[in-house]
Amino acid sequence: MPHLLIIGGSDAGVSAALRAQEVNPAWEVTVVVADRYPNYSICGLPFWLGGEVADWRDLAHRKAEDIEGQGIRLLLEHTARAIHPAEKTVTVVDKAGRSQQVLYDSLVIGAGAVPARPPIRGLEQPGVFFLRTMADGFALRDYLEARSPVSAVVVGGGYIGLEMAEALARRGIQVTLVEYLPSVLTTLDPPLGALVGEELNRRGVTVATGVAVEAIDRQGGQLAVIGSGGFRVEADLVLVATGVRPNADLAEAAGVETGRWGAICVSRAMETNVPHVYAAGDCAETYHRLLERDVYMPLGSTAHKQGRVAGENAVGGQAAFAGTLGTQVVKVCDLVAARTGMRDDEAREADFDPLTTQVETWDHKVYYPGAHRLHLRVTGDRRTGRLLGAQIVGHRAAEVSKRVDIFAAALFNEMKVKELNDIDLSYTPPLSTPWDAVQMAAQAWMEGRGNPEVKPC
């Protein structure tokens, strides 16, 4: 019986295993998982730590017994130490240190990503945390329950940083969020990122932007976070959320090619340069449909899709990854922020002729109670009229995710901005307007395109 070996559980690895078993049950499938949690939502950790999800077990996409019930063998608490392509084996070590050589006919590397460790002195201090694994979540939970901290510093204003700032504030902790760039949530343009920062301020979170954290020192029973411009704040705990890097060292040591971001280079079939070796998820590059080239964009939704493609092809299939648009969404207190495609600056770097316009409109008819403002930015190409990207910030009840998905579907199908007006979108006064906010934003862009006096936002 041919054997498919997968390194890494979670999104890409388990998706690959399930798809392989589904497509070709004649293959034996084994997944090597470094911990005891083969398919848990790491994205859900902030909501559990903040108390919105009561039980950490509810974060499981699938339990181990569910996966094994599909005929998949799990090697839990096993670590892959070396890949030997010539012999088609992987050295695997269990938690007791015992080593074995596992044979494969096809190999999928779904090793994910690890936290990026910024050049900050003092990251090893007790009370300084990262958040990337279930073990990280348990360690932080234990510290919160044992120490009952009253103050915290979150370093990094990206998705995890924002979600954890809210989660800690929910627990009654005084939170300071520190971001190196001029605004938080830098996947959005600064005017929309500023709205997110203001929302955190309203919830009692102190937001400090334009600060480069340089050191974390222990001062008595507290941690002192020291940064540029004389910045200094003391707190009971520090969470570092400054992004991730691909976990590709094992693959690289085996001769698997990596790219400019250190991620594994793959074809759209998720093949590496090494025969019979595939890669997927946060350890691998991903094809961008608009740029028509590979980028590094670690997203859970992408990992699931890539994993399915890798698993299918590893057992003889002919699937292709359709590509990403970088569609993302995050909830921050009572706001939701989302984006898809490219911002104005990204489009210009890609040799488009972008125009970005911004509108503010209502999410549904104002006469129906509970209407909220939506802030939308649309980027399109002046020359061709092609839609290039969109960003939205609005109230969490304003269906922001629905609307960014409309833009994402339009981008996927290479639509022009004006064609958004022709889409037959639903309407009822409690939920929308006759011309939906998406279409009103498109109309504003068309007006801007036809007016040479309109400058990009």
pLDDT at residue 244, rounded to an integer: 95
Q: Does domain 334-449 have CATH number 3.50.50.60?
A: yes
pLDDT at residue 219, rounded to an integer: 85
Q: What is the pLDDT along the chain (457 residues), one digit of tens a residue?
A: 999 999 998 899 999 999 999 999 999 999 999 999 999 999 999 999 999 999 999 999 888 999 999 999 999 999 999 999 999 999 999 999 999 999 999 999 999 999 999 999 999 999 999 999 999 999 999 999 999 999 999 999 999 999 999 999 999 999 999 999 999 999 999 999 999 999 999 999 999 999 999 999 998 889 999 999 999 999 999 999 999 999 999 999 999 999 999 999 999 999 999 999 999 999 999 999 999 999 999 999 999 999 999 999 999 999 999 999 999 999 999 999 999 999 999 999 999 999 999 999 999 999 999 999 999 999 999 999 999 999 999 998 888 999 999 999 999 999 999 999 999 999 999 999 999 999 999 999 999 987 655 555 5
pLDDT at residue 321, rounded to an integer: 98
From the candidates 43, 265, 283, 457, which is the catalytic residue? Answer: 43
Catalytic residue list contains 43:
yes
- The architecture that CATH gives domain 128-242 is 3-Layer(bba) Sandwich (3.50)
pTM: 0.93
Q: Where exactly are the structural domains of the chain? A: 3-42+58-113+245-314, 128-242, 334-449
Angle at 353 between CA 349 and CA 359, to 5 degrees: 100
pLDDT at residue 449, rounded to an integer: 83
Q: Please provide residue 245's backbone torsions phi and psi, each rounded to the nearest 5 degrees.
A: -130, 155
Q: Kindly state which CATH superfamily the domain 3-42+58-113+245-314 is placed in.
A: FAD/NAD(P)-binding domain (3.50.50.60)
Tell me whether domains 3-42+58-113+245-314 and 334-449 share a fold.
yes
